[in-house]
Structure 1
Amino acid sequence: MKKNYRFLALALSLVLCIGLLAGCSGGSASTTATPAPTEATLADTLIFAQGADPRGLDPAMVDDGESSKVIVNIYEGLLKYAKDSTALEPCLAESWDVSDDGLVYTFHLRQGVKFHDGTDFNAEAVKVNVERQMQGNATTDMTYADFVYGYVTKVDVIDDYTVAITLKDVCTPFLYNLAMSMAAPMVSPKALEEYNGNLNENPVGTGPYKFVRWDKEQDIVLVRNDDYWGDKAVTENVIFRIIKDNSARVVALNNGEVDMIDGIDATVVDEITAAGNIVDQPDGMNINYMAYNTTSDIFKDAATRKAFSQAVNVPELVQSLYQGYASPADTILPSFVPGFSADIKQVSYDPDAAKTALAAAGVTKVHMISYSNPRPYNTATGQVLAEAIQGYLAKVGVDCTIDVFDWTTYKEKVKAGDYDICFYGWTGDNGDPDNFMSLLSDKDPAMNVARYDNAAYNDLIAQGKAAPEGADRDAIYKQLEQIQVDENPWLLISHSKLLSAYSPKVQGYYYHVTGNIFLSQMSKTN
């Protein structure tokens, strides 16, 4: 067999790290010589490569998928989703009760659970985690805080393992929100105190893996939590490797340097399978879109937004970029999310009408910003998508300038708002329609990147949150989707399959519908 020396170098580096894990975990570092890497060592390490560095590893402080994929292996919430869906299951809470008026949720907590720093998980820890993100306490960095906890008015510790959370209004998605990977996971109160309220670089949870180190834009190393309350992780060591270039990730997989990758597109599928690796492609719970900055001089008017959308042949664009691994989007909601309606149709391609309307409005130039890396909802990268849109707009007399940034920088640029058009998307957190539709009512510009504000839309969002699950609630979301069509704050582009790939040596592989990768029950053969 041909030896892969780059892989052996990686393995040696890993073994050196493993030899120091006791020191990383607070124990004594060994002074004995580190043994040479063996096949057994390599089989006890899973390496997952993604296209960008996480923004951070504190679930209250981040809102991106790259962070989320690491976070779900370190932390846990009161509830969790089923392996193959967003159905709710117990996690750190064994059970829960809801008051008759729908305002008080009482959680009965799992006993004997400890955070990675050895402190107890209990009702006081839940109180700290929730109150940290309640209105009045949450910082501007906590972009999911209002989404998850905005309805919470108080948290009461009933006893060591019982906690009651009171809401100001009925919120049907609340339980689903508590299983999300953002804001909802429980972090160690002791660690929060030690690290001044920010665990982005010092994550401490209760999950199946513990944090070892993060070499920025290179690797994040985790080790099995042998004190985990549930089923112990099958594989001892996990590495999240950052490989920004799409083709380089494919080469790394095909060479055996990594075991799993995501952020791939249709152009590399044949290359991956020809090398004997496996491409996973379930339908994604996502939306890929172009957002008009509704506060900019150009896009304050819905008619101008409509004209821009008419300039883009979305079905042609989707087929060209994604080659059958994504479908054109007529609605914000994927077809399997409650509230989806096949009756909703977006603005049709009409370049002549677009050219006439834009000329009459005097629009000849726009400023676009986009991102350089692939995303689960856009495997072609933001830059490629922006350039394709640029080509369509040139045909109707509009010159587009494009500024492209790495993902972390891009998030800051979006928050600053210096653009006419930006490119974004959403991977659903919880399977509830509110999780998608409320993006256009959010007051946070990092979430509502179109900066859209419509009183009628906001009122319907409030009604949808309070309505019980069923046909009446679904009808509310159909109304919301029609407003999106009429007002056109977004040009909807596609719903993407969740493309990822893995070595046949990996056993138990699955990529969750939320875009997360749960590694604890995966293993690798020699």
Structure 2
Amino acid sequence: MRWHKRLLAAGVVAAVTFSAAACAGGKVRGAEGTPQPGASQGATGGTADTTFVYVPNLDVVTDWDPASSYSNEIIAMENIYESLTRYNPQTKKAEPRLATAWTTSPDGKTWTFTLRPGVKFHTGKPLDAAAAKAAIERTMKIGEGAAYIWGAVDKIQAKDPTTLVFRLKYPSPIDLIASAGYASYIYDTTAASGDLKKWFGEGHDAGSGPYTVDTWQKGRETELTLKSFDGYWGGWNGPHYTKIDFRVTPELATAWQLLQRGEVSFVQRLNPQLFAQAGATDTVRTSQTPSFQNLLALFNTQSGPLKDVRLRQAVQKAIDYDGLVAALKGAGVAASGLVPDGLLGYTPGRTGRQDLPGAEALLKEAGYGPGGKPLNLTLTYAQGDSDQEVLITLLSAALDKLNVKLTAKPLQWTTQWDQGKAKDPAKRQDIFVMYWYPDYADAYSWFVNVFRSAEPVSFNLSYLKDSGIDKEIDRLPALTATDQAAAEKAYADLQTQIIDDRAAVAVPYVQNYQRAYAASVQGYVDNPAYPNVVFVYDLKPGA
């Protein structure tokens, strides 16, 4: 079920903030790491200058199985395993990884991938079309984590050792799906003679990536160590990091001290104050990149006072978008509609602006506002999320001026979600605040999950029911697969309907990644399609 990840990501994002892929569904397993069969010790044995030390703020591994992995271990998995393609947010396209080229039929229902020759799994087995087919089919059969991404696939054919053909039940952008950060990994399904899931759970891997598991010690500060795989198809000529240590450090101040002392290479997250210090430190570099994760304020379109579209539009106009982004001090950037920049469907010019006179006029028209009836609204948000609390503070102050009282309740995610899904509409909130981000680099996730009609209610927490909008949403995968210009227009039109006409949502901001890393690290680029992942092989260790 796809919402395993959502439970934690949407509800405890204060603790997780930039471990956006935290999963509530994965079982935590503990084991001492086991060197992989067929793996080398690395070119240098892991000397300090070729060891990349990554500092996450949460434990790394909850699920070792590449079929069902749906959590923080993505930061390691993307260095161990590879998918057919990798998403480039600059070009908004998938680029070659294990596949070197691909074509699609005009109807978007047949996709043919040419695989990279000469690739080996860490087990020593060659990676060919039959092995890739077996991996994807096992992921589909297990059906956990993000396996739903392959839902359009009818059958997979290994036409010859380097040709993989997907035949689909309906048009879908398989090139994007194959670049997903979850459930798209190609792995050796013959790695274990017995129970493969159990074998993975003991800390083994069967990937084809540049690194393989060296040690795994659950609960230790240095939880996981990866080492270079000598048989990697990309080779090891030139400078590379040959070892990766994942050193779990929950306290941001401690992580910053380790970076200052030169003991670590990369800090996943700093708060705005520490990030400013990092920017003024000669031995440290910083990076800010808008993520693909945005905050949604979903308005109850079906019951309560916000059933009146004028009141929903008034609340949209009351939000101090600029003031909120300024108060976040770099932790968020202005949103432009529902789709973050870097994804097909991003529409410039949709940035919200506070308009209190406009809000007052709409309230007055509905009989509320200064001099009219008092309006009482309820809102739920994630307990302990300081960024969401800034939104609540600013919105409450603005609404007070308009004779609107906002009662905001911080809740644990499961409690908030249960209230939002209550069968009795009278028990539901007027405004539901949560984060959203896609499982693969496609904006479809926002529309099909959050705004398509749904009974029973799942994530459609604005309770929007519009058959015309549903029909337009259902066309998106086929358009994305066959006519991207038409898809861009469809996304723009849908946002006009959902945000402007129906006023089902406001999008206050997009979360901003704030990284700090050693000045000796060369070539780092953040890719928001893979939350918190550092593709270490692409980096060069410097002086």
Pair 1:478 & 2:492 matched:
yes
Question: Equivalent residue for 1:17?
Answer: none
Deviations 1:153-183 (A, max 9, x none): 1112323433221012222x32122122222
Q: CA deviation at 1:125?
A: 2.4
Question: Equivalent residue for 2:513?
Answer: 498
Q: Map residues 353-364 of structure 1 onto 2, 5 A cutoff.
A: 356=368, 363=376
Q: CA deviation at 1:310?
A: 4.4
Pair 1:230 & 2:234 matched:
yes
Q: Map residues 178-193 of structure 1 onto 2, 5 A cutoff.
A: 178-191=178-191
Question: Equivalent residue for 2:450?
Answer: 440
Which TM-score applies when normalising by structure 1? Answer: 0.76
Query: Which range moves more in the overlay, 487-496 or 511-520?
Result: 487-496
Question: Equivalent residue for 2:381?
Answer: 368
RMSD between aligned residues: 4.0
Matched residue count? 473
Pair 1:270 & 2:285 matched:
no
Counterparts of 1:243 and 1:473 in 2: how far apart (Å)? 42
Question: Equivalent residue for 2:471?
Answer: 459
Question: Equivalent residue for 2:211?
Answer: 209
Q: CA deviation at 1:42?
A: 1.4
Question: Equivalent residue for 1:165?
Answer: 166
2:335–2:508 contact (8 Å) kept in structure 1: yes
Query: Residues 149, 276 of structure 1: CA spacing in aligned structure 2 closer, same or farther, 3 A cutoff?
Result: same
SS of the counterpart of 1:270? helix
Q: Map residues 114-513 of structure 1 onto 2, 5 A cutoff.
A: 114-134=120-140, 137-139=141-143, 141-142=144-145, 144-146=146-148, 148-171=149-172, 173-191=173-191, 194-196=195-197, 199=200, 202-211=204-213, 212-216=215-219, 218=221, 219-232=223-236, 234-281=240-287, 283-292=289-298, 301=307, 303=309, 306=313, 308-323=315-330, 326-335=332-341, 337-344=343-350, 346=352, 348-350=354-356, 356=368, 363=376, 365-370=378-383, 383-391=385-393, 392-393=395-396, 395=400, 396-403=404-411, 420=429, 421-426=432-437, 429-430=440-441, 432-434=442-444, 437-440=447-450, 454-467=466-479, 468-485=482-499, 486-513=501-528
Q: CA deviation at 1:506?
A: 1.6
SS of the counterpart of 1:190? coil
Q: CA deviation at 1:145?
A: 2.4
Query: Residues 111, 524 of structure 1: CA spacing in aligned structure 2 closer, same or farther, 3 A cutoff?
Result: closer
Deviations 1:444-496 (A, max 9, x none): 98876767664333321232322234543321111111133034444312234
Q: CA deviation at 1:198?
A: 9.0
Counterparts of 2:107 and 2:369 in 1: how far apart (Å)? 51
Counterparts of 1:500 and 1:254 in 2: how far apart (Å)? 14
2:536 partner letter:
L
Q: CA deviation at 1:48?
A: 1.2
Residue ranges of structure 1 left out of the alignment (5+ in a row): 1-19, 31-37, 373-382, 405-409
Query: Residues 455, 116 of structure 1: CA spacing in aligned structure 2 closer, same or farther, 3 A cutoff?
Result: farther
SS of the counterpart of 2:171? coil
2:535 partner letter:
F
2:375–2:405 contact (8 Å) kept in structure 1: no
Residue ranges of structure 2 left out of the alignment (5+ in a row): 1-31, 422-428
Counterparts of 1:256 and 1:314 in 2: how far apart (Å)? 38
2:326 partner letter:
Q
SS of the counterpart of 2:347? coil
SS of the counterpart of 1:204? coil
Counterparts of 2:64 and 2:327 in 1: how far apart (Å)? 36
